[in-house]
Amino acid sequence: MLEQTVTTDQALDAGRSEAITQKMIDVINHAGLALMLSLGHRTGLLDAMAQLNWTESRELARAAGLNERYVREWLGCMSTGGIVDISPDGKRYRLPPEHAAVLTRAASPNNMATTAQWIAVLGSVEDHVTEAFRHGRGVPYDAYHGFNRVMSEESLQTTVAGLEPHILPLVPDVQRKLAAGGRVADVGCGAGLALLEMARLYPRSHFTGIDFLEDSIALARAEAARRGITNVQFQARDAAQWREPNTYDLITTFDAVHDQASPATVLENIAVSLKPNGTYLMQDIAGTSHHHSDRELPLGPFTYAVSTMHCMSVSLAYNGAGLGAAWGKETAQRMLREAGFNEVTLKQLPHDVINYYYICRK
């Protein structure tokens, strides 16, 4: 048995001790800010502040239709955290226009307050994940309350808004093909927002959405009916059990492969289901497959936190591979080749700092 001894007279680097102490203070403060930014987004407080310029708590509460006492306490967090300005007399507050440009719905797709919502969603399963560290079996999808809501908002910003101007142009000639009429599948489609946008843009093409979660498919079908979009269908099924040989001109996945229980099988099924001249477009989390290199990622700690608390864990809950969000480009490119894609091109887009885009052909 190994014994570990910590000596009290061990020399410590005073500068390093001070630095980690300050970093932990910053971490705790920023955690509080993230929760309050999430609340500010969900309650509409940030949007209301952007319209009011300098305002008192009572006026802001009235504009947002909220309780003044709660609003006043929220303003305390926002002002001490440097998110909102406060007047010298401490009575009036303002959301600077520079901050509103990244924290309000009007700023979409640049609204980072939507991303702050993940802290609360992931925190809600901390007890489950703590136990999973011990038994290793993961946490099922139905434990994540609010997941579909936040994922849909994120999809609207990073994917839906970028489809026509940025994402689809990555695939040579695909927009012309879809305008003329083609077949498209989105695997792991969630609530179907990206697929519905493509169906709207290309009414002559036919679109199929596939997702494991029946709740997500129900949301997608309801939204298609609400919008009157008829060139789309949604199927509640496991992508590991799905394949339609030589059927599709384009297959997409948007941040979906790393969550799969059987990602290698899903990628093989995608390759089989493409027409010989078809294209697979995979959007997935940016990373290098190495912790050391991933220290340079702008959202490295956040990516690994989301992976631990959700992506890896939901895969393990179904006896899966547990790839995790940070599986990285080296692993992704290897698995794509093994699935049957002989041509894999990796791209990045300036509007999306968290994802890579892989354009794949057989």
Q: Distance of alpha carbon 80 from its chain centroid, rounded?
A: 28
> Which residue intervals of the chain bear CATH 3.40.50.150?
122-361
Going from the C-alpha of 209 to that of each of 243, 273, 308, 325, the distances in angstroms are 13, 14, 27, 22
151 has a pLDDT exceeding 80: yes
pLDDT digit string, tens, across residues 194-248: 999 999 999 999 999 999 999 999 999 999 999 999 999 999 999 999 999 999 9
Whether residue 280 contacts residue 339, with contact meaning beta carbons closer than 8 Å, is answered with no
7 has a pLDDT exceeding 70: no
Q: Which residues contact 194 (CB under 8 A, 6 or more apart)?
A: 155, 159, 160, 163, 186, 252, 254
Q: What is the CA radius of gyration of the chain?
A: 23
pLDDT digit string, tens, across residues 306-331: 999 999 999 999 999 999 999 999 99
Scanning the chain, the segments in alpha helix (DSSP H) are 14-43, 45-52, 57-64, 68-80, 97-100, 113-123, 126-135, 147-155, 174-180, 193-201, 214-227, 263-273, 291-294, 300-306, 312-317, 328-339
Whether residue 257 contacts residue 284, with contact meaning beta carbons closer than 8 Å, is answered with yes
Task: Please name the fold of domain 14-106.
Answer: Arc Repressor Mutant, subunit A (1.10.10)
Domain 122-361 grouped into CATH 3.30.565.10: no
What are the phi and psi torsion angles at 94 (to 5°)?
A: -145, 135
5 has a pLDDT exceeding 80: no
| SS (HEC) of 68-79 | HHHHHHHHHHHH
Q: Look at residue 207 in the predicted model and tell me its pLDDT.
A: 99
Q: What is the mean pLDDT of residues 162-170?
A: 95
> What is the spatial distance between Cα 13 and Cα 17, in angstroms, rounded to a whole number?
6
pLDDT digit string, tens, across residues 278-301: 999 999 999 998 999 999 989 999
What are the phi and psi torsion angles at 111 (to 5°)?
A: -80, 105
Cis peptide before 88 (omega within 30 of 0): no
| Sheet-wide strand order for 343-349 | 232-236, 206-211, 183-187, 248-254, 274-285, 352-361, 343-349
Two structure tokens written together for 21: 């102490």
Hey, is 322 helix, strand or coil?
A: coil
> Which residue intervals of the chain bear CATH 1.10.10.10?
14-106
Going from the C-alpha of 12 to that of each of 8, 17, 23, 131, 313, the distances in angstroms are 10, 7, 17, 34, 37
Q: Which residues contact 191 (CB under 8 A, 6 or more apart)?
A: 148, 151, 152, 155, 216, 219, 220, 223
Whether residue 202 contacts residue 164, with contact meaning beta carbons closer than 8 Å, is answered with no
pLDDT digit string, tens, across residues 228-237: 999 999 999 9
Q: Which residues contact 131 (CB under 8 A, 6 or more apart)?
A: none
> What is the spatial distance between Cα 183 and Cα 180, in angstroms, rounded to a whole number?
11
Q: Look at residue 9 in the predicted model and tell me its pLDDT.
A: 58
Per cent of the chain over pLDDT 70 is: 98
6 has a pLDDT exceeding 60: no
